[in-house]
Structure 1
Amino acid sequence: MQDQTLLPVEHGGSLARAGALFPHAPRPFVDLSTGINPHAYPLFDLPASAFTRLPEPSRIAELCAVAARNYGAKANEIVAAPGTQILLPLVAELCSRGTASVLGPTYQEHARAAAVAGHEVREVRSFDALAEANLAVVVNPNNPDGRLISRGDLLALAAHMRAKSGLLVVDEAFMDVAPRAESVADAAEQGGLVVLRSFGKFFGLAGVRLGFAISAPEIAAKLAARLGPWAVAGPALEYGLHAYADKAWQESMRVQLAQQAARLDSCFAGVGIVVTGGTGLFRHIAIDNASRLHRHLGERGILLRAFSDRPRELRCGLPGSEAEWLRLEEALAAWEECE
């Protein structure tokens, strides 16, 4: 029998699955089941060479340099990959097989990737319990509840892991919309620490498939060797170079997302639902009738992220237009009448 921990897990964002679950819902769906920015970085025309030629090593180096500046790291500490997902098992293989502890509940692919790499995986609820593992994983801020572990606590754990030849992995996929002073990306060079950063979530271009690992130079070199040449496609390379250099768009977008997250909180509060956490890209709800709310909204073509192992919890992303906001507000008003 196949080990269930090695099988892919369900995630938000599947319109095919939503269609099967809510076959009579109005279309198009308002997909709030992901934590991806609905206001994507503006599309632009790409040079034909982005599609017809292999990426030049100098352009990859340029991308790593501009991304490193964004994250407070050095160019020789960062590795570009076709999304952070592909990095998870490669990073897990950096330390000897043993116990991998993941601070949960969180993004389930970390546990699966560690199992693929041969570790004995356990999910822990206490940050202090991570110190016992060979491989410790923290998603910061956490998905789906937005829990934030302080920079000081993470650096202390990284030092502990370094002293015993272990490894701390900090997934900062949503740090672009969190207090950036809590990032540990600038400390990865000290060793015992790998920081993962995502491009697609904040820039709203998940389909581009671009992500980065930040670590001590010798670890970065190992990861780059595992990925091999041309790991990042030409179109992803071009979008990364443009978007990371566009500081004005980034700062404006952070303000816009914070405003819309507050608006989403108000929408739920208006019908007596208290938001229990989240980030600027998603909000977290924990209520007894979460499954009924999920179905109520789904039947009206509005998708939230539900969790089969945590039936009281929901995650809600941001609507992308006034029309989508209106549909959500109307559906929530109907929910209040039902209650």
Structure 2
Amino acid sequence: MSVIEREHHGGRLHEAARRWGIPVSDWLDLSTGISPFAWPVPTLPASVWQRLPEEDDGLTACCRHWLAVPAGAACLPVPGSQAALQLLPRLRKTARVGVPSPGYREHALAWQRAGHEVVPLSVEQIDGALPDLDVLVCINPNNPTGHLYPQDTLLRWHQQLAAKGGWLVVDEAFLEASDGESLAARCDQPGLIVLRSLGKFFGLAGLRAGVMVGPAAVCEALADLLGPWAMSHPARWVMARAVQDRDWQQRQRECLRQARLRLDGLLSAAGLLPQGDSDLFALCVHDEAEAIRDGLARQAILVRHFEQPGALRFGLPGNESEEQRLLLALQTLPV
């Protein structure tokens, strides 16, 4: 399946409000894969706002423990995984890079802008293309399809790439809300790079906090490109505490799983067929996807639309009232 995005990102709520003439405050925004159930951020001490961040504040150790990063790998906190994926292409000479299609467009754009040859690949095409690639980017689970790659498959691809000095870059932004296994604990192997984010599972997208795990030389080079104080002091302070809160993380997994099951029920009852292995969103392929998107928008419900084939991505409603609102809106549409 090839899905071409109409817009680069979800979350364009203000743009939708202008287009449909509906105030921002009236919308139910289901266009992103961000959890509506956020980690409860405590009150920050005044000193966190008043002082510059310091790299020896313990955040790196917290992240290493969180992801079980082995001693032979480096761990670099970054201002969102977006910052890392944008700069990574600048750390290699011109290369042939496989990117997921469909997939988060920013990966392909970043490699293209850095002068690399980008090869869009479906899941089924990767094995055949791998001998001619220098770098392979995978999103696990994928966005927007929700496809989850088995760890054994990813490690096999990594071995083929590493044997010729190549990279496997795995974007695990949605992994915690799935049954997938992280490769962060295997990053002591050359050429294996993992990106993680606090935006999706923790519901803290506005914090702009994430981490890159991989070879020390790659992490050091990326740190040089980011420069000093790349992550704000508040972001570092919050991230260190969120990643250590294992009890909340376990409750969050169960909460998201139940919310996804309820969403699947709503969509199935409306004649849509939800798919994907992420508990943060569901993709529904439908011949009338654009008409359904517009019908929901007229009722101030924002979802993500894709083309070729037509598809809609639904994020999670945040409570029973929002679920009921979505159900009633879907019932008015000729699905």
Does TM, scored on the shorter chain, surpass 0.5? yes
The answer to whether the Cα contact below 8 Å between 1:25 and 1:298 also exists between their aligned partners in 2 is: no
Instruction: Give secondary structure in 2 for the equivalent of 1:58.
Output: coil
The answer to whether the Cα contact below 8 Å between 2:178 and 2:277 also exists between their aligned partners in 1 is: no
Structure 2 counterpart of 1:222: 221
Identity percentage of aligned residues: 40
Matched, 1:82 2:102: no
- Structure 1 gaps, min length 5: 1-8
1:46-93 alpha-carbon deviations (Å, 9 max, x no partner): 11121111112211xx11211122212147511111111111132122
Letter in 2 for 1:287: H
Structure 2 counterpart of 1:247: 246
Structure 1 counterpart of 2:154: 154
The answer to whether the Cα contact below 8 Å between 1:84 and 1:212 also exists between their aligned partners in 2 is: yes
Deviation at 1:28, TM superposition (A): 1.7
Letter in 2 for 1:140: N
Give runs of aligned pairs for residues 226-305 of structure 1, distance below 5 A: 226-305=225-304
Deviation at 1:20, TM superposition (A): 2.4
Distance of 1:71 and 1:161 partners within structure 2: 23
The answer to whether the Cα contact below 8 Å between 1:144 and 1:278 also exists between their aligned partners in 2 is: no
Aligned counterpart for 2:61 among listed residues 33, 51, 65: 65
The answer to whether the Cα contact below 8 Å between 1:175 and 1:183 also exists between their aligned partners in 2 is: yes
1:10-40 alpha-carbon deviations (Å, 9 max, x no partner): 2100111111232147942100000000011
The answer to whether the Cα contact below 8 Å between 2:260 and 2:280 also exists between their aligned partners in 1 is: yes
The answer to whether the Cα contact below 8 Å between 1:40 and 1:204 also exists between their aligned partners in 2 is: yes
Structure 1 counterpart of 2:3: none
Distance of 2:140 and 2:170 partners within structure 1: 7
Distance of 2:56 and 2:25 partners within structure 1: 45
Pick closer, same or farther for the CA change 1:228–1:296 going to 2, 3 Å: same
Structure 1 counterpart of 2:108: 111
Distance of 1:268 and 1:178 partners within structure 2: 19
The count of corresponding residues between Structure 1 and Structure 2 is: 326
Give runs of aligned pairs for residues 1-339 of structure 1, distance below 5 A: 10-24=8-22, 27-59=25-57, 62-74=58-70, 77-125=74-122, 126-128=125-127, 129-180=129-180, 182-307=181-306, 309-335=307-333, 338-339=334-335
1:236-284 alpha-carbon deviations (Å, 9 max, x no partner): 0111011111101000010010001000000011122111224110011
Distance of 1:11 and 1:314 partners within structure 2: 13
Distance of 1:313 and 1:290 partners within structure 2: 5
TM-score w.r.t. structure 2 length?
0.93
Letter in 2 for 1:72: A
Letter in 1 for 2:134: N
Pick closer, same or farther for the CA change 1:131–1:30 going to 2, 3 Å: farther
Distance of 1:27 and 1:66 partners within structure 2: 37
Deviation at 1:94, TM superposition (A): 2.6
1:74-119 alpha-carbon deviations (Å, 9 max, x no partner): 4751111111111113212232212111021100000000012210
The answer to whether the Cα contact below 8 Å between 1:25 and 1:300 also exists between their aligned partners in 2 is: no
Deviation at 1:146, TM superposition (A): 0.8
Distance of 1:11 and 1:88 partners within structure 2: 15
The answer to whether the Cα contact below 8 Å between 2:13 and 2:24 also exists between their aligned partners in 1 is: no
Instruction: Give secondary structure in 2 for the equivalent of 1:189.
Output: coil
Aligned-CA RMSD value = 1.8
Moved more, 198-207 or 74-83: 74-83
Deviation at 1:148, TM superposition (A): 1.2
- Structure 2 gaps, min length 5: 1-6
